[in-house]
Structure 1
Amino acid sequence: MTETPKGPAHKRDLTRRRVVVAGGAAVAAVGVGGGLAMNAFAGETTADTEATASETCYTLTTETTEGPYYIDADKIRQDITEDQEGIPLTLKLKVIDAETCKPVKNAAVDIWHCSALGVYSGYEAMSNGGGGGTPPSGSPSDAPSGTPTGEPPSGAPSGGTGGGHSEPTDDERYLRGTWKTDRHGYVTFKTVFPGWYQGRCVHIHVKVHVDGEWTDAGYEGGHTCHTGQLFFDEKSVLASAAVSPYSTNTTTRTTLDEDTIYPDNGHEGGLLYLKYDKKHIAKGVHAHLTMGVAPDETHDSTDTQPSTSASASAS
């Protein structure tokens, strides 16, 4: 999204530029609750190492395409697994203001992703799950969609039929959910490790909504300040592929480097920090990431593919 260089957005942009010019390793240390602000846990994520160290506040987490399988979030819940099989995944996200490093509390965070076999709930007839059967026509492409038509919080679907928002084909809603960030900006979900489908690497969609109101009916009003995707490193995906039911997925897998949506900028672009037993990934995976957002801006979706190195669009 292109912002007019004035007002809060302009101030935010200048702040980021000043820090970057001062040095790529510069850290804006801002107190949060009396402690040092933390943005992305430093250090490489592997199966047997824990993330450490501190956060930086000079960049926003990259916006990516929303995808065509958007559904208004009607599931206010932390456990989105339902009856889906797969490796247990605990996903912990922290939402901070990228300019101040302060936590964004009471935000509505949506996540949604495909099953272990590459199928999206609500769109089972349109998904090309690779469970050994004959895939239906129309392969997901994650082409950008327009502004969502429902009330937030909303999720933006991944996969799809070649662009634009697609209407749901069924009433299933597994692996979709919305929950509220706490006063420290944290939100945690229980789900399963996503699978893959034609043309895309393994990923999770995410949206962050602010300035709305939590009611008995859910979350109402406000605006979407971040639309993005979360990604998994190749080592973890290869480990998951050896475990059932992922091992029965016959669809050719697109790697992280081959994916046309992943912006190829590491954790800033949504690459998750992961922790799991590398010899027994089936026991479960813990994933976490801190996302820097601009609460005063609106980012419903993006009409630009962020990856310039990819050779072709997903199909």
Structure 2
Amino acid sequence: MTETQKPPSEQGWTRRKAVAVGAGGLAAAGLGGTAYATGATGRGGREAAESAGADAEACYRLTSETVEGPYYIDADKLRRDITEDREGIPLLLALTVIDSDTCGPVRDAAVDIWHCDATGVYSGYEDQGSGGGGGPAPTGEPPTGAPTGAPTGPPPGGGHQEPTDDTRYLRGTWRTDRHGRVAFRTVFPGWYRGRCVHIHVKVHVDGEWTDAGYEGGRACHTGQFFFDEESVLASAAVEPYAGNTTERTTLAEDTIYDQSGVGGGLLRLRYDRRHIDRGVHATITVGVDPEATQDGQGGPRQPSAPASPSPSAG
């Protein structure tokens, strides 16, 4: 079986009830990388080129920890292509996971990613609508007096919510190779009220890859990846993103992104600026502390001014 072929049962694997998976390296070409334009770059790509001299210093820096958000589902599907039937701009996300102390690769880690679709909806939580932070704007008079009854909705900081349905598109887990590399094929995420465009990530270590999949271990990193404004504006001109009329929070307004560039999760992007619909290639090196245990409640930055109505940590 070649790297470009998916095992017949791949869509149905789960982390604890899976057939054995191979470790091998995952080259961009193995995920159809030739379909992605390389003749031009977005701003993230240009910033990467300009900051190449700082790579040695950056590799010793921990990538920012962020909140898990309310819509995490524990390593539900072991697969590299997480697209399923979702429409959108093809996105190849290539990650390298390193020890931020030694700069050595973190091998055999289980990497989870999950994100909303082009319209801002998370699988597993379709009843929540657009990312849980959407929905119609409030109407009528504001409430007065002391609140009564139990609070509802996502807890502050993005506490977990139980899934509302069995959909699992745009979610997946895969194994880092001996170079600490892993790649996923997906689509460019959309947006919802209160958050900029982003992808969630978890890195699990000290578990065991067995015939049943990946068992045990702990999360040593919980983070989010972000897209520069130039690429998001380009995506917004393409269907189905163009049909997303939800108010959008910019990267500078976001309450989770800490404005620290690559160290804060800003992706390096390559795409044809005239034809972003042909695909985007995103890369980032994730510096983690393999000895740490992260509970997914890492503190977001505090904005200097209100970013957007109804913020969500999703």
**Same fold flag (TM > 0.5):** yes
Say if 1:126 and 1:161, in contact at 8 Å, map to a contact too: no
Contact 2:45 2:268 survives alignment (8 Å): no
Q: Which amino acid aligns with 1:97?
A: D
Which range is displaced more, 305-314 or 226-235? 305-314
Q: Distance in 1 between matches of 2:114 and 2:232?
A: 18
Using the size of structure 2 for normalisation, the TM-score is 0.74
CA contact (8 A) 2:67 2:299 kept: yes
1:153 — aligned with what? none
Matched residue type, 2:311:
A
2:167 is aligned with what amino acid? E
Q: Please, which of 286, 292, 315 is the counterpart of residue 287 of structure 2?
A: 292
Aligned to 1:180: 175
Helix, strand or coil for the counterpart of 2:123?
A: coil
2:109 matched residue in structure 1:
107
Instruction: Pick 1 or 2: higher relative contact order, CA cutoff 8 A, min separation 6.
Output: 2
- Return closer, same or farther for 1:49/1:260 CA change in 2, 3 Å cut-off: closer
| Counterpart residue number, 2:235 | 240
* 3-state SS of 1:210 partner: strand
What residue in structure 2 maps to residue 208 of structure 1?
203
The aligned counterpart of 1:89 is 91
Moved more, 165-174 or 46-55: 46-55
Counterpart of 2:261 (choices 266, 279, 297) is 266
Distance in 2 (CA, whole Å) between partners of 1:216 and 1:83 is: 28
Between the aligned residues of both structures, percent identity stands at 67
**Out of 193, 196, 199, which is 2:191 matched to?**
196
The AA in structure 2 aligned to 1:126 is Q
Q: CA deviation at 1:128?
A: 2.0
| Other structure's SS at 1:71 match | coil
Give the SS at the match of 2:127.
Answer: coil
Q: How big is the shift at 1:70?
A: 1.7
Change (3 A) 1:190 1:202: same
1:128 is matched with 130
Number of residue equivalences: 248
Deviation of 1:300 after TM superposition, in Å, equals 2.1
Partner of 1:167: 162
Alpha-carbon distance in 1 for matches of 2:305, 2:209: 40
Q: Which secondary structure state, in structure 2, belongs to the residue aligned with residue 93 of structure 1? A: strand
- The Cα of 1:135 is off from its aligned counterpart by 3.5
- Contact kept, 8 Å, 1:45 with 1:51, in 2: the verdict is no
Q: Partner residue of 2:16?
A: none
1:264, 1:307 within 8 Å by CA — same for their partners in 2? no
Which residue pairs with 1:23 in the alignment? none
Deviation at 1:165, TM superposition (A): 1.1
Q: Deviation per CA, 1:237-271: give whole Å up to 9, x if none.
A: 00000000000001011000111111111110000
Distance 1:136 1:120, change over 3 A: farther
> Partner letter of residue 66 of structure 2?
T
AA matched with 1:80: I
1:180-212: CA deviation from partner (whole Å, max 9, x where unpaired): 000000000000000000110000000000010
Residue 311 of structure 2 corresponds to: 314
Cα deviation per residue 1:163-193 (whole Å; 9 max; x = unaligned)?
Answer: 4211100000000000000000000000000
Distance 1:302 1:216, change over 3 A: same
TM-score, scaled to structure 1: 0.74
Please tell me whether the aligned partners of residues 72 and 114 of structure 2 are also in contact (alpha carbons under 8 angstroms).
Answer: no
Q: Which amino acid aligns with 1:302?
A: Q
Aligned twin of 1:46: 43
Cα distance, 1:314 vs structure 2:
1.2
What residue ranges of structure 1 are gaps of 5+ in the alignment?
Answer: 1-43, 139-159
**C-alpha distance after superposition, 1:5-45 (max 9, x if no partner):** xxxxxxxxxxxxxxxxxxxxxxxxxxxxxxxxxxxxxxx96
